[in-house]
Amino acid sequence: MADVKWPGDQLIAAAQEGDVEATAALVSGSHPHVQRFAYSLCATPQDAEDAAQEALIILYRKIGMLRASGALASWMFRIVRNECLRRARLSLRSHGPVPDTVVPSFEDEVLQRLEAGRVAAAIADLPADQRRVLILRDIQGYSGRMVADALGLSTAAMKSRLHRARAAVRQALQATPDPLPGAGHD
């Protein structure tokens, strides 16, 4: 798979200044990345599609609010993450309590949704510098060298931040109690 880059600073700046063609190109160029975020964070493909679409609408409407062109990826990630979490909460509320007679496939789906929410919350709690490295490296799959270059870091600094981010997420997931204690134990 060829690495597709986020839209460049010039395109972002033109969109921020109200250039309609630049804004359309920005939304189009951001779509694959936003969609990848959504599919990695949302519980269902339908939620992922809806979250990606919502994020792109927000990008189109509010590009002028973006403070720095280099912050586009983290801004879009936050929007997608928040939308995925909102959808997961709504879905869990609409299903109500899980009855004892639930078939395992539905139980597995609920547990996956809860786990995705826990992971997203743990990533969201990271300091911004660690979160950016983790997202670019582990979620988007960019090489260490590309992540270091994109963030203006040495490879050693990038690896250090990535290590701290992974450790913090792992610790947060271990410290967070199981969302459904006793699930799967009869």
Q: What is the pLDDT of residues 124-172, one digit of tens each?
A: 888 989 988 888 888 777 888 888 888 889 999 999 999 999 999 889 8
Does the structure show a pLDDT above 50 at 102? Answer: no
Does the structure show a pLDDT above 50 at 2? Answer: no
* The pair of three-digit structure tokens given for residue 80, joined into one six-digit string: 């997608």
% of the chain beyond a pLDDT of 70: 78
Per-residue exposure over 118-154, b if at least 16 CB sit within 10 Å of its own CB, e if not: bbbebbeebeeebbbbbbbbbebebeeebbbebeebe
Query: Alpha-carbon torsion 20, 26, 32, 38, what sign?
Result: negative
pLDDT band at 75 (very low <50, low <70, confident <90, very high): confident
Does the structure show a pLDDT above 50 at 185? Answer: no
The dihedrals phi and psi of 44, each to the nearest 5 degrees, come to -130, 155
Average pLDDT across the chain, whole number:
79
Asked whether 175 and 125 are in contact (CB, 8 A), the reply is no
pLDDT tens, position by position, 19-54: 889 888 988 888 998 898 888 887 788 888 998 999
pLDDT tens, position by position, 78-94: 888 888 888 877 776 66
